[in-house]
A and B are shown apart, each in its own frame.
Chain A
Amino acid sequence: EVQLVESGGDLVRPGGSLRLACEVSGLTFSRTWMHWVRQPPGKGLEWVSRIDSDAWSSTYADSVKGRFTISRDNAKNMLYLQMTSLRPDDTALYYCATSPSGEVYLDSWGRGTLVTVSS
């Protein structure tokens, strides 16, 4: 069974930084593309970023480009999201999700970790 467990969410001041983590089990992590998706309270889904299986390439939504960095450690089956210059509109539940090898869609999701940006 595929399991994704996010952690690292917290209350942070505007302008602050935070690193989220996602532990993945039940699949061959080193062959899986990974994504971060966020959902502000009571609102819709927003795709944030993805990284390929070898960490050779990554892409970002315009709303986070230059502030967020996605990374992974295939030896530890871990995905990360380093977030800097946080703003109140970054407040959201952050999900990590997988894409099967060679596929575009997101097939397995974690339960999310809550990031709140407020003074």
Chain B
Amino acid sequence: QSALTQPASVSGSPGQSITISCTGTNNDVGKYNYVSWYQQHPGNAPKVIIYDVNNRPSGVSNRFSGSKSGNTATLTISGLQAEDEADYYCNSYTTSSTRLFGSGTKVTVL
């Protein structure tokens, strides 16, 4: 069970849009529409920001959006803000009925 593949870091200037990819296999990301994304600020627990590929929980900014194509899911953050600087993790349900996290991406706001 290798972690889903994410870029180690992504950066952008305030107001820009950035994307974070999450690549899996036909046994996880490509098989189910059960991809979720989590934001983690230093010293804090993770917080879900996207679930079931493209749904936002109540209270999460509409600047966060998700999509999926084949074995790759994508998180888009539009109108980048300083408060978006954090670590981001994708997660997928798998054919083994387990969950698999991505390797994590550090977002830096320049």
A111 contacts B45, C-beta separation under 8 Å: yes
Q: Which residue of A lies closest to B50 (CB)?
A: A105
Contacts between the two chains (Cβ within 8 Å), count: 65
Nearest neighbor of B102 in chain A, beta-carbon distance: A44
Set of chain A residues within 8 Å of B89, measured between Cβ atoms: 44-45
Task: Tell me the complex Cα distance, A65–B93, Å.
Answer: 17
A37 to chain B, nearest CB (A): 8
| Interface SS majority for chain A | loop
| Residues of B within 8 A of A (CB-CB), count | 26
B64 at interface by CB-CB < 8 Å = no
Residue A63 is within 8 A (CB to CB) of chain B in the complex: yes
Chain B nearest Cβ from A44, distance in angstroms:
4
Given the known inter-chain contacts A45-B38, A60-B98, A95-B45, please indicate yes or no for A105 contacting B91, CB distance below 8 A: yes
**Is B101 a contact partner of A109 (Cβ separation < 8 A)?**
no
Whether A50 sits at the interface, judged by CB under 8 Å, is yes
Where the two chains meet, the residues of B that have a C-beta atom closer than 8 Å to any C-beta of A are 1, 3, 34, 36, 38, 40, 45-48, 51-52, 57, 87, 89, 91, 93, 96-104
Q: Which 5 residue pairs of A and B lie closest in terms of their CB atoms, listed nearest first?
A: A105-B51, A105-B36, A44-B104, A109-B45, A47-B99
* Extra contacts besides A44-B3, A105-B51, A109-B45 (12): CB < 8 Å: A35-B99, A44-B87, A44-B104, A45-B91, A46-B3, A47-B100, A47-B101, A104-B93, A105-B91, A107-B57, A109-B47, A111-B45
29 contacts between A and B (CB under 8 A): A37-B46, A44-B3, A44-B89, A44-B102, A44-B104, A45-B38, A45-B40, A45-B89, A45-B91, A45-B101, A46-B3, A47-B91, A47-B98, A47-B100, A47-B101, A50-B98, A50-B99, A59-B98, A62-B1, A103-B51, A104-B51, A104-B52, A104-B99, A105-B36, A106-B46, A106-B48, A106-B99, A107-B51, A109-B47
